[in-house]
Amino acid sequence: MLSFILLALLAHASPIQCKHPHPKINMIILAGQSNMAGRGGVFNDTITETLTWDGIVPPECQPNPSILRLTANLTWVEAHEPLHADIDYNKTNGVGPGMPFANTVLNKDPNFGVIGLVPCAIGGTNISQWQKGEFLYEKLVKRSQFAMQSGVYRAMLWYQGESDTENQQDAELYKDKLKRFFNDLRFDLKTPKLPIIQVALASGPGAYIEEVREAQLKTDMAYVKCVDAKGLPLGPDGLHLTTSSQVTLGQMLGHAFLGY
């Protein structure tokens, strides 16, 4: 009799619903080139003659259960350095500004909720490669649109431009292409007021760095802020930020974001 009652209850039971552990993720796009992807702690190993990450993760970059990362396979996992390991996979990645940014936001606002970082940066790219219709732009939009199922976009962090300092025409056209990129992305993501925080260059391999920096510092668009990386210590290559500089930059970006 007892067995019959149990079978009857099981037959009429409702299926168990698994709730999403993070019903609303506060998503942040990370885009640009190598200094956004992160080269902090990357050094030239003279024995193996390859670039290697030293594996040092500062306290400001430590994992936090409330900081997630969208992988290359479009799954959410707990974020940890290097954030771009499976995105900028042809390069050696190290510490970038994403983790210190997220930790700064959570430290300043413990009730902010879950942060979802969407890494999209690729080293060595110029602004033309981020124009609508180009591979990097379309991949960025695809990843970003997929992530929208999980929450809401709070901002994009953008650090790019070093590659555009080598050619005068590239530098002169940088501002127009940058603004077009920002406008197209907002339109395609249906977020016309998406806050964008860009970084003014700390370095560049070419002679036209000041022209690109001026374009960044004077973008003059609504809901676009700029933090200046000039003066932050660089690694031995004179181009990439050190780990400590990435921590400082991430904190600067966090404070700028909280000021919106």
Which residues are annotated as catalytic?
A: 34, 237, 240
- In CATH, 22-258 is 1.10.10.60: no
2 pLDDT above the threshold of 90 = no
More confident position, 8 or 192 = 192
Q: What is the pLDDT of residue 23?
A: 60
Q: Give 110 or 45, the one with higher predicted confidence.
A: 110
Burial of 184 (0-12, 13-18, 19+ CB in 10 A): middle
Least confident piece of the model among 13-22, 26-35, 60-69, 243-252: 13-22
The mean of the pLDDT values for the chain is: 93
> What would the mean pLDDT of 210-234 be, rounded to a whole number?
98
Report the sign of the C-alpha dihedral through residues 224, 165, 201, 230, in that order. Answer: negative
212 pLDDT more than 70: yes
Nearest to 79 by CA among 30, 45, 35: 30
pTM of the model: 0.91
Q: What's residue 13's pLDDT?
A: 37
